[in-house]
Chains A and B, each alone.
Chain A
């Protein structure tokens, strides 16, 4: 579909790695130039982006709608919280992130097996039930999962070598929120490279084939169930990692963070950006992170109370989501790309003879 830009290498892996490296450098540069609050916001953008990336692969490439990604994030967050109860916790951070991913992956496999047999509205309904059900588990097992207050998460001290390297590279002390944001973007980069490669590989082609035409895919020898379950599992793993980053960022895993609204806004982010596009998912995550402040500011200026103004952001997502489905089903990133393609084609057409070209 997308012709590689000549400046970038041809092999997907090399291209993705190069983009990732450039992206990481950019993130480090941005992070050291912004305020503490922006660093916190960038960490938020990172975890929303990770979860949205997983969801866009599931919905865009495999055609399964999941409203349960908030719940899967909760599972990742609680796993991280259980592993990081106090300062003396000896579990290293990479292991915590990995554990959160693996636990969410396991839950995703169970849900995925059930989901693989469901279509459209049935799957949406089942995952909706998941999103509503999971916070209840945390409330029921009060003693281990902390009930309404949730579990505190203690961020381990950054290792000395990381502090030294950061100081050496940027000339600044690494603050806590900077550290968390850095972890978040590192996880995001790794996740996106893996997802991008996967979606361009044989696995990704199978997912797309199942989405586009089940019968044709089956005739081509693709196991529909296996393709669906694998897409769900990969997507759930990303949500788990996102949940762990969320727990590190807000230092808390509580049921109130994982409401139905979170799952719905994740879907909104993915739809806004364009289903199936990782760039779109990141764009959507950026909107989810930065729009609320702007919208709330406009609302209070217009004379609304704080609580009312806080609801303007979801109102905007919802309206844009409806508008995107009605007017631009390809989403923001997709529509821009379509526009570019159309332009390029028109340019190509005008240079060739006009009569024969279609």
Chain B
């Protein structure tokens, strides 16, 4: 087989896809994504170049960037709009198994995400070339490569019933934990990064090679062939059991939720462990109020919660499908969404109180964040049946593809606005929360009319 020609074909197809736009929304999503990446790349580049002036070392800024890239690499697969399943080459094609395994890996790797992150590193290194050593650049790229390989390995472990599945899973998790731990706290392990990172990369490649090989064997069965954000639950349980099984029965939702919980717990642990004086010092040295550290997980947690619940809107409807009452579905949704948020509030408040950080501003900020994102999550959930009612209009298909990017940009913009307004006066943030709640209530009450108008508009 002309192996190089297949590789060339994949590369060509991928590059063509970058410039294929179905409609204005698809173009908008792509432009937003590119603009965001460029903004981050230039921002990080200048932060690296001027690290001393910002009160950091270059290594600290680079550590932050690498950590962000690792977290994004691992979590991106679990967002609903992302292609979650791997792309195997079917075993009935006349290609040797080794080539099939390698081609499957390439098909996955040559997607927009790795190319975008690679471009981010290139632009960032280009801007801060004089501030970085070649070793720092190479180690950052090695970190990214290891994260990519481990992410695919994790997906293969989830999607295929390979022999020794749990052993592979444990290997991937251990490698991932070492990678994250080393990137977040570079001096924790008594091994030089010049030794540790190449070893990690080799381990990740080895595990990936074994898994890629196992996945193309006919003896290995694929347990997930469509997006694993689908719901698969046994019926006949109680309502609470049904809801919980459906929610956590989907592996990708459970993992997304788990990552959000870990991040939240990590931040709370950080606040609990670090002394108040150190917090003040950290705030001063970072030129940032500690509220940021608290704010990010709140928004992230609520966004993830809504994203996960939003995907499960069908579940709320199914549970109440005999009555088809929106009100019943709404109360069920609120009950299961508000409970974790209340638990989060109690836990976070306790830790903040313990550290003497529980000010009115922070409590108000939390409340406005919660109300805004919960309302928006509900609005997204109310809109999602329009997408699932076999309406394959290209407009909604595109909306679904860009919703993740638009959602993340929206969360960031709202978060900044809430932070800014709350820091001016603790009641100012309530304006955004009120607008969000009022819009959602309007949407909820006029759902049928709006849906009819939308369908009518599309069909015309």
Q: Does B bind A?
A: no
Partner-A contacts on B (CB < 8 A):
none
Partner-B contacts on A (CB < 8 A):
none
